[in-house]
Amino acid sequence: MTKSSVITQGVKITTRCQACGGVLMLDTGQFIDRGRLWWGTEGTCLSCPVAWCEQDFGDATPEEIRQALLAEHGPARLRLTEPEAGAVPVLRALREVHGLSLAQARAMTDELKTTGLVGTFVEMALVASRLQHHSVGVTVETSSS
């Protein structure tokens, strides 16, 4: 992954418009921009003027967006290519991405070294790029891999 590559994943959902009861089309997803995890959603009713666009970044993507992505695309698993990788670069990368305490980063490192980390493809791609920046070899596996 290079800095110029765009990592994105989305899903289109049809639901009921709260305003008129018509068909509401949602286009929602996650993407990486300038090394940060972003999420966005756009909604348009096919029967009334209701429409909006919302976008934000940070550690926590709204759970309904995460769950929609996981349901549509399945989870991605981040694994170390060398399970004996040094703890310091792994800890540093995880703390940079997630703003974790040292104890939280150690617990996540243990998980990464054993079962791997699981999340949306975009979340795992972001962590993978940070680990690779610290010369830690990783792979991101998806159900389509």
Tell me if 134 sits within 8 A of 92, measured CB to CB: yes
Percent of the chain with pLDDT over 90: 77
Is residue 107 predicted with pLDDT exceeding 50?
yes
The matching CATH number, chosen from 3.90.1750, 3.30.1390, 1.10.1200, 3.40.1360, for 76-142 is 3.30.1390
Distances in Å between the Cα of 8 and the Cα atoms of 12, 69, 129 are 14, 11, 14
Q: Quick one: average pLDDT of 80-108?
A: 89
Burial classification of residue 81, based on how many CB atoms lie within 10 Å of its CB (0-12 exposed, 13-18 middle, 19 or more buried):
exposed
According to the model, what pLDDT value does residue 5 have? 60
Q: Report pLDDT digits (tens) over 39-69.
A: 999 999 999 999 999 999 876 899 999 999 9
Show me where the domains of the chain are located. Answer: 8-73, 76-142
Q: Which of 2-11, 78-87, 127-136 is predicted most confidently?
A: 127-136
Question: Residue 60: CB partners within 8 Å, gap ≥ 6?
Answer: none
